[in-house]
């Protein structure tokens, strides 16, 4: 019997290797052909600024205002509120449509609320917010971004002082409530003697000034002179 010799070429393996090669070649071609459209040139004007100048201003303002304290009021109802919403929508739309404002649209959309919705002072009313927003939107549309920035810096400085005052007031309140908190904790721990000592301890100790007044209404210097000139029997009284 003659043995059956196996063919040198294996059709199954060769077809598999060819398919893998074709897939790899197709992926490499797709990677080479993948590209993204560049950002449109800022060929626009915003108030007195051209596109490049306005982009530099927005970038500089953005780098500062993102670190401000949260101090925004809600978008008011009415005409001015709708105008604010339309301006925000316009910025997002210009970015999505790859218009000439695309390069600054997103940063401008982040800066606009921070500059125009700053609460002017504590407990300000909605009517005041509408008036401030209307003036600020006019400055925004005219390209007067530096004016809005200075206004915001002034408000933020005022907020910082108010926060410091709040912190001082909070610390004073805590210091006043500290003895009562200690007393309550000691009573819960059934340490009555230590708790009572907090109620009887005196905060002001030390040497009295000669001009200090005693409970009888006399000064310390006067009372001391009387004691020194009195007899031993009178001192006991």
91-111 pLDDT per residue, tens: 999 999 888 999 999 999 999
Segment 186-191 mean pLDDT: 78
Of the two residues 220 and 141, the one the predictor is more confident about is: 141
Phi first, then psi: what are they for 45, rounded to 5°?
-125, 140
Q: What CA–CA distance (Å, rounded) separates 189 from 129?
A: 53
Instruction: Please report which confidence band the pLDDT of residue 3 belongs to, taking 50, 70 and 90 as the band edges.
Output: very low
For residue 3, CA distances in Å to 8, 11, 89 come to: 15, 21, 82
47-51, 111-115, 118-122, 190-194: lowest mean pLDDT where?
A: 190-194
Residue-level pLDDT at 130: 95
Does residue 11 surpass a pLDDT of 60? no
Kindly list the domain boundaries of the chain, sorted by start residue.
45-161, 169-199
Q: Are 223 and 214 within 8 A, CB to CB?
A: yes
Tell me the whole-structure pTM to 2 decimals: 0.56
């Amino acid at each position: 019997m003659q043995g059956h010799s196996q063919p040198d070429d294996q059709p199954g393996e060769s077809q598999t290797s060819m398919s893998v090669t074709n897939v790899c070649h197709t992926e490499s071609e797709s990677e080479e052909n993948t590209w993204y459209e560049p950002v449109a040139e800022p060929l626009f004007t915003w108030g007195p600024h051209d596109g490049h100048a306005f982009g530099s201003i927005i970038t500089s303002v953005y780098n500062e205002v993102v670190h401000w304290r949260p101090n925004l009021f809600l978008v008011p109802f009415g005409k001015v509120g709708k105008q604010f919403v339309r301006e925000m929508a316009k910025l997002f739309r210009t970015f999505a449509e790859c218009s000439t404002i695309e390069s600054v649209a997103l940063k401008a959309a982040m800066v606009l609320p921070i500059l125009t919705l700053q609460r002017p002072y504590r407990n300000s009313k909605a009517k005041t917010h509408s008036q401030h927003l209307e003036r600020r939107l006019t400055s925004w549309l005219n390209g007067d971004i530096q004016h809005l920035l200075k206004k915001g810096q002034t408000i933020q400085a005022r907020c910082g002082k108010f926060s410091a005052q709040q912190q001082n007031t909070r610390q004073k309140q805590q210091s006043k409530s500290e003895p009562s908190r200690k007393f309550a904790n000691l009573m819960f721990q059934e340490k009555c003697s230590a708790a009572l000592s907090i109620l009887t301890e005196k905060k002001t100790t030390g040497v009295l000034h000669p001009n200090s007044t005693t409970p009888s209404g006399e000064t310390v210097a006067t009372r001391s002179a009387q004691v020194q000139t009195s007899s031993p029997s009178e001192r006991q009284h």
